[in-house]
Structure 1
Amino acid sequence: MDEQVVAEGSGGVSSPVNKSQVKSSKVRITWPFYVLFAFVAGLVGAILAWGFLSESLASLGIPDPGPMTTAGLPFLRAVGWIVAALSAGSFMATTFFISPREIKRSAEDGPQKTSYLNRSYLSVDGSIAARTGSFAAICFGLVAIVMIPMVMSDLSGQPFTEALKLQNWAIAFEQVALAKAWSWVAGFAFITGIAGLFCRTWLAQPLLFAGSIIMTVPLGLEGHSAAGGDHDYGTNSLLWHLVLMLLWVGGLMALIAHARRIGPNMDMAVKRYSIIATYAVIGMAISGIVNALLRMDFSDLFTTHYGLLVFAKAVGVVVVGMFGLAHRTFTIPKLEKDPKNSALFTRIAIVEVLAMAAVTGVAISMGRTPPPAPEIQDLSVMALEMGYSLEKEPTLLNVFTMWRFDLMLGTIGIMLLAFYMYGLVALRRQAKKWNHMRTFWWVLGCITLVVTVSSGIGMNMPATFSMHMVAHMLLSMVVPVFLVLGAPLSLIMEAVAPGKPGRPGLHEWAAVMTDNPLLKFIMHPAVNTIQFIIIFYALYLTPLYEIMVSEHAGHLIMNFVFVISGYVYYWEMIGPDPKPEERTHVSRLAWLTFSMPFHLFFGVYLMQLQVILAEDFYTKINLPWEVDLAYDQLVGGGIAWASGSFPLIVVFGYLFRGWFREERIVEKNYEARAESTGYADAEEYNRMLARMNEGHDMHGDYYQETFESKDKGKDKE
């Protein structure tokens, strides 16, 4: 009999394994491949950027900064994107691909709550992946620090050694937008990386995964796509492109490491990644086409350097997509039969990532290659500031005839609707019922979201304060109410069966979103009320509004904050989805009543405000119709007062009706219990009153006799 050792299996469960099996499947290191991937991406980017150097410098009108910047900038930027993808992919793996240690559920864990996942720690394989993601984030932060003087050198034409001087760093932070973006990248990357080194619970991994995505966002808000006409489309399409690239490239690198560590559940991990990669490739293709069409015409595809790079990148994406098809056709079926047989997957995946690295290098070189000059170069100030021009003054009717689809929140609205419909189809297949009113509210919420950001409301939102306030009220107080009443998390938990032991899936992840310590803290009535109210005052009572409204990035951030803050607030107030702690309708009514004066006062404050918010920006865009900024702000304050109080009154009525129903239920339960016990409680209550009455009579006789004896004594005196 072979000697046995104990190895960690699925979800951290220990199981006996033969030593001969361990020798035949030796754990192998992966970091040399990470270095190879980064080097290939950097080398391709540096070679292409060097080849197009003369054209770039001539277009920009700057002197040659020297070989250290010319080759170093694209090389470092490509390396940075590879390590950023490695960080995002590693945290994505610890969140969705690698199961945590399985622990026994307690008696408190009901069918709708899987809080055992909140208490789970990462397995050995998950801990290694998390450490990889943390070090990759820290490396990305170091690259970002070096990129600050590198960008300064590239844009000014001075040698890199000169840009390294401290006085030039101050100039870079003050005058160079891309240098500011890299400084933000460094801050987010260091926070994510350092936090990841100390977090070993599963519950922290989704937050670290989000951090690894957020640390790249500042770069998506700068560059070719963030300048000139249609820069709203350019920026949004680039953000989609970059985020999907992180998931696509990073996820595959994480799977290679997982396979070389002989990680458990390899078949499950590859299958889940395959789904993500399929949608990522489709999304990258669509966003890439949109971004390319904004920068050049089809005739420029083979006649300009920029067009050739676009074509080379498109070919590279198709080639890498063929590798993905090979995985679906050959490797996944083999892994489902034998999860430990990952050699074929690893060999194909390594070649695939090398191709991805080359494509990344091509994409990086595009950042230093100027796109073809547009045919129409006399863009208005409005088009330069907003990305497009407005020709009609908005009215109650024509705002719904204007249309400019929002690539960010508009796309998200369509995706949310598709996700919900998929869940309903899954329920129907299982012959399960679902409340049709919930479907109605969700569909209405998705449609309202798309219409708000894509119609004339969204188009005029950056142009005037009054239209900004209309959009703000819709995104924070109307759309969230509709979406919350759709109960999406309950739909997931109802439509998706729980995962097998040690293999949590969509059901468990949705359940964790309804029951975790962070949500419990945020949904405390005091915290939730403050976070919802403070957004109004912090945005409009400080210089923050003028900063945010003048940049497309600011509009994106505001829109997301409005929707997310409102969703959390109304989820706690009226949401049918489970919560960490269910409070009575009376309690929620009390907190709502407490918050209403703050909302009403905010609108009144805006109407009485004498200072015009963001006056310089609104004056600069030079609208084709006359706008009285003071009156427009007064109208905006009135909109905030009226439209802000109306949803709160509706919610107040909803909670009041719920309170009435609670009282009716209590009354019915009491009547049913009384009938079943022959009104024993009522009889006992009557007897108690009778005893109290008898005691009162006895005390009354005693006091009367006492007073009479005292009166007799006085008479004798």
Structure 2
Amino acid sequence: MPRSVRVLGPAVLITVAIAATFAALAFGGGADAQLIQDPGAITRYGVPIAKLLTNLSAAGMIGALVLAVWALSPKRREFDLALDVAAASAAVMTVASAATAFFTFLLVTAVPFDLSDDFGQKLGQFVTTIELGQAWLATTLIAAAVTVLCFAVRNHTALVFVTALAVAALVPMAQQGHAAGAAGHNAAISALGLHLVFAAAWLGGLLTIVLMKRTLGAERLVVVLTRYSTVALVCFIVVAVSGYASAALRIGTLDELATPYGGLVVVKVTALIALGLFGAVQRRFLIGRMTRGAGTAGGGAFWWLVVGELVFMGLASGVAAALARTATPVAEAAGSLARTPAEILTGEPLPPWPEYFRFFTEFKPDLLWVVACGFGIFFYLAGVLRLRRRGDHWPVYRAVLWVAGLLLLAYVTSGGVNAYEQYLFSAHMLGHMALTMAVPVLLVPGAPVTLAARAIRPRKDGSRGGREWILLAVHSKFAGFIANPIVAAVLFAGSLWVFYYTPLFRWSMLDHIGHEWMVTHFLITGYLFVQSLIGIDPVPYRLPYPFRLLLLLGTMAFHAFFGLAIMSGTGLFLADWYGAMGWGTDALVDQQLGGGIAWSVGEIPTVALAITVAVQWARSDEKESKRLDRHADRTGDAELAAYNARLAAIAEHDTRTP
């Protein structure tokens, strides 16, 4: 069995996936003939099959790159082999996504295929001017670029950017996974995007290990499997959570599980549960046996388990491809029935009237940040627990502040502020101020970099884990540049004007990707600024304490001027958005309220920062005094005695000189 697993594993995966796709299409009616302008059976089945191959090849591409970046050593042949797998997978994805674009064109236009110039012009128009065609063209071009880069790039650090580009190939697929006019469109993008990326890393990582089995060898295999197992556990959790969120948006109620779409969801959930059980057995028993040398180099039972995992992964992949062509119980065209201008603009049902208590009772979860905050709290507390188990000290207040900061971040991105920020400029500005000032003031004293450097075990085989990547990023020239106090202050204050007085603001409102960029940008710029003032983690340069206070006061004065400019302004930001909501509120008055929030709410973190800087300054002086006293005790005031002797010598010299 171990000798044939390299061939049997991928073959089983592809065979089961294709068979599951055909069976699910037949059950759900996803490939049934259309009543009007039917494009033919080849096109109806070609779309889901081509998309299945796109998904599987994307998994091979992303999984192999993640494994190379996270688990493999550039000093060994395994590293180059993983990149070869990624390059081959990316090449297949290029062809498969191009085929998906072609079949999608035939499906939506019902234009019969021929070799005429007219057909080519229509196809070219589809992929260059129609949003659906542009999405598949972008996916194809990105996959082609990754193919070339996987052959050309062998630098370990540069591969991080190649991996990010590979993940970006899935973004157009996530954006077209839910009707733009339907309720829950933004939530669906986040859920589907997370689902695609982490499922790809999970499946592709396992497939890459299977293909590299002979190269790794028995001892090295256990090391790589242990690292992959951690990645797989994280992927399982994210895939399960995002899958549930996607299903809830499309099914609505439990009664809809009786529909064909619901039945396919049940099959996919069953496959996911089975994969979770496989992972638990692999993590808790088989890897341990292989580590202790209880099994052979191939680990017969382990490889049987791997083939079983690939069977269920193929089943889940095939059902997922068919689900994309199956009618959902919750109609995606519901957004066209919106009755208010606000619903027409946002595509979302209106929340209740924004009374103050609603900001604490309404929720609009952003799954991306819910998952990020959840893992941030878990890994931080796990690091603290590891330190305490080996007898090291870690201040409790740091953990408390870190958890509080991430809980506040989760609230801002998923609570009442997020529920109203699309409709009210004041709510948007409240979230902005919290992201750029309140959250960083809590997170920075948590010293996450210091904790990671102390708690994560270092790698000694040339590969890079969490500790190595974090320290590399912190000590990079780019990080040193943006962490400079002056640069951080310019980014912090200048971003306000650049964002609100350029098309970036509109992009953040109209595009979910723009919204996520906005949250990330203001969180990072706020963190860098606070880190330059009161940070504990190491940075290349810190200002003396008096200059820190001056920098804080100067930046906050600039910040207050921005708020006053909005308060006194008479023109609306995004008049065709906030001014067209028709929600019974005066948009200009609400905007001026937002300016007041920018001016006043920022004062509370400013005071907290000023007090913290002053306390650190006093403690620094106190520590320096204690250090000098201890030095004097050790040397018997040798420096003072030398200084007095020098003064005496000068005085004696003066008395002898006419």
TM-score norm. by structure 2 comes to 0.85
Question: Is residue 266 of structure 1 aligned with residue 226 of structure 2?
Answer: no
Residue in structure 2 matching 1:45, options 21, 28, 47: 21
Q: Deviations over 1:449-493 (max 9, x none)?
A: 122223321210111111111101111221122112111232233
* Distance change >3 Å, CA 146–CA 557, structure 1 → 2: farther
Q: What is the aligned partner in structure 1 of residue 263 from structure 2?
A: 308
Question: Is residue 542 of structure 1 aligned with residue 516 of structure 2?
Answer: no
Question: Is residue 677 of structure 1 aligned with residue 632 of structure 2?
Answer: no
Question: Is residue 430 of structure 1 aligned with residue 384 of structure 2?
Answer: no
Q: What is the aligned partner in structure 1 of residue 297 from structure 2?
A: 341
Q: Deviations over 1:425-452 (max 9, x none)?
A: 3333233322122122112212211222
Q: What does 1:268-307 align with in structure 2 at a 5 Å threshold?
A: 268-296=223-251, 297-302=253-258, 304-307=259-262
Q: Is the 8 A contact 1:85 1:250 kept in 2?
A: yes
Superposition RMSD in Å: 3.8
Question: Is residue 641 of structure 1 aligned with residue 596 of structure 2?
Answer: no
Q: What is the alpha-carbon distance in structure 2 between the residues aligned to residue 671 and residue 553 of structure 1?
A: 57
SS of the aligned residue for 2:212 comes to helix
Q: What is the aligned partner in structure 2 of residue 709 from structure 1?
A: none
Residue in structure 1 matching 2:515, options 550, 555, 569: 555
Residue in structure 1 matching 2:108, options 147, 155, 159: 155
Q: What is the alpha-carbon distance in structure 1 between the residues aligned to residue 496 and residue 94 of structure 2?
A: 33
SS of the aligned residue for 1:224 comes to coil
SS of the aligned residue for 2:193 comes to helix
Structure 1 position 608, deviation (Å): 4.7
Q: What is the aligned partner in structure 2 of residue 475 from structure 1?
A: 435
Q: What does 1:137-152 align with in structure 2 at a 5 Å threshold?
A: 137=90, 139-152=92-105
Identity %: 27
SS of the aligned residue for 2:585 comes to coil
Q: What does 1:350-499 align with in structure 2 at a 5 Å threshold?
A: 350-373=307-330, 378-380=337-339, 382-383=342-343, 386=346, 388-499=348-459
Q: Is the 8 A contact 1:137 1:192 kept in 2?
A: yes
Q: What is the alpha-carbon distance in structure 2 between the residues aligned to residue 138 and residue 594 of structure 1?
A: 53
Q: Deviations over 1:60-119 (max 9, x none)?
A: x76223445323322221111112111221122123222344xxxxxxxxxxxxxxxxxx
* Distance change >3 Å, CA 164–CA 369, structure 1 → 2: farther
SS of the aligned residue for 2:106 comes to helix
Q: Deviations over 1:171-201 (max 9, x none)?
A: 554442x334334434554555544444333
* Distance change >3 Å, CA 503–CA 174, structure 1 → 2: closer
Q: Deviations over 1:576-620 (max 9, x none)?
A: 123355565456556556644543443344345444222223355
Structure 1 position 549, deviation (Å): 0.6
> Which moves more between the two structures, 434-443 or 374-383?
374-383
Residue in structure 2 matching 1:629, options 578, 587, 604: 587
Q: What is the alpha-carbon distance in structure 2 between the residues aligned to residue 134 and residue 376 of structure 1?
A: 39
Q: What is the aligned partner in structure 1 of residue 82 from structure 2?
A: 129
Q: What is the alpha-carbon distance in structure 2 between the residues aligned to residue 198 and residue 261 of structure 1?
A: 22
Q: Deviations over 1:282-340 (max 9, x none)?
A: 443343233223322333334x3322322332233334444434534663234213487
Q: What is the aligned partner in structure 2 of residue 250 from structure 1?
A: 204
Q: What is the aligned partner in structure 2 of residue 111 from structure 1?
A: none
Q: Is the 8 A contact 2:127 2:137 kept in 1?
A: no
SS of the aligned residue for 1:578 comes to coil
Q: What does 1:97-136 align with in structure 2 at a 5 Å threshold?
A: 97-101=71-75, 123-136=76-89
Q: What is the alpha-carbon distance in structure 2 between the residues aligned to residue 538 and residue 154 of structure 1?
A: 43
Q: What is the aligned partner in structure 1 of residue 58 from structure 2?
A: 84
Q: What does 1:206-225 align with in structure 2 at a 5 Å threshold?
A: 206-224=160-178
Structure 1 position 500, deviation (Å): 5.8
Equivalent residue letter for 2:254: F
Q: What is the alpha-carbon distance in structure 2 between the residues aligned to residue 423 and residue 643 of structure 1?
A: 33
Greater RCO (CA < 8 Å, at least 6 residues apart): 2
Q: What is the alpha-carbon distance in structure 1 between the residues aligned to residue 530 and residue 296 of structure 2?
A: 47
SS of the aligned residue for 2:576 comes to helix
Q: Is the 8 A contact 2:61 2:90 kept in 1?
A: yes
Q: What is the aligned partner in structure 1 of residue 191 from structure 2?
A: 237
Q: What is the alpha-carbon distance in structure 2 between the residues aligned to residue 270 and residue 411 of structure 1?
A: 24
Structure 1 position 679, deviation (Å): 1.0
Q: What is the alpha-carbon distance in structure 2 between the residues aligned to residue 506 and residue 216 of structure 1?
A: 24
Segments of structure 1 that go 5 or more residues without pairing to the other structure are 1-24, 102-122, 699-717
Q: Is the 8 A contact 2:9 2:310 kept in 1?
A: no
Q: What is the alpha-carbon distance in structure 2 between the residues aligned to residue 222 and residue 357 of structure 1?
A: 23
Structure 1 position 248, deviation (Å): 1.7
> Which moves more between the two structures, 558-567 or 477-486?
558-567
Q: Is the 8 A contact 1:228 1:383 kept in 2?
A: no
* Distance change >3 Å, CA 195–CA 433, structure 1 → 2: same
SS of the aligned residue for 1:616 comes to coil
* Distance change >3 Å, CA 688–CA 227, structure 1 → 2: farther
Q: Is the 8 A contact 1:149 1:172 kept in 2?
A: no
Structure 1 position 40, deviation (Å): 5.5
SS of the aligned residue for 1:542 comes to coil
Equivalent residue letter for 1:641: W
Q: What is the alpha-carbon distance in structure 2 between the residues aligned to residue 151 and residue 319 of structure 1?
A: 33
Segments of structure 2 that go 5 or more residues without pairing to the other structure are none
Corresponding residue pairs, total: 645
Q: Is the 8 A contact 2:188 2:249 kept in 1?
A: yes
* Distance change >3 Å, CA 172–CA 537, structure 1 → 2: farther
Equivalent residue letter for 1:80: T
Equivalent residue letter for 2:51: R
Equivalent residue letter for 2:316: V
Structure 1 position 227, deviation (Å): 4.9
Q: What is the alpha-carbon distance in structure 1 between the residues aligned to residue 167 and residue 332 of structure 2?
A: 36
Residue in structure 2 matching 1:617, options 569, 572, 577: 577
Equivalent residue letter for 1:316: A
Q: What is the aligned partner in structure 1 of residue 536 from structure 2?
A: 576
Q: What does 1:6-85 align with in structure 2 at a 5 Å threshold?
A: 37=13, 41=17, 44-45=20-21, 48-49=24-25, 58=34, 63-85=37-59
Q: What is the alpha-carbon distance in structure 2 between the residues aligned to residue 521 and residue 134 of structure 1?
A: 34
* Distance change >3 Å, CA 206–CA 571, structure 1 → 2: farther
Q: Is the 8 A contact 1:221 1:235 kept in 2?
A: yes
Q: What is the alpha-carbon distance in structure 2 between the residues aligned to residue 667 and residue 437 of structure 1?
A: 26
Q: Is the 8 A contact 1:228 1:384 kept in 2?
A: no
Q: What is the alpha-carbon distance in structure 2 between the residues aligned to residue 375 and residue 202 of structure 1?
A: 43
* Distance change >3 Å, CA 130–CA 600, structure 1 → 2: farther
Q: What is the alpha-carbon distance in structure 2 between the residues aligned to residue 467 and residue 692 of structure 1?
A: 75
Q: What is the alpha-carbon distance in structure 1 between the residues aligned to residue 578 and residue 369 of structure 2?
A: 24
Q: Is the 8 A contact 1:514 1:580 kept in 2?
A: no
Q: Larger C-alpha radius of gyration, 1 or 2?
A: 1
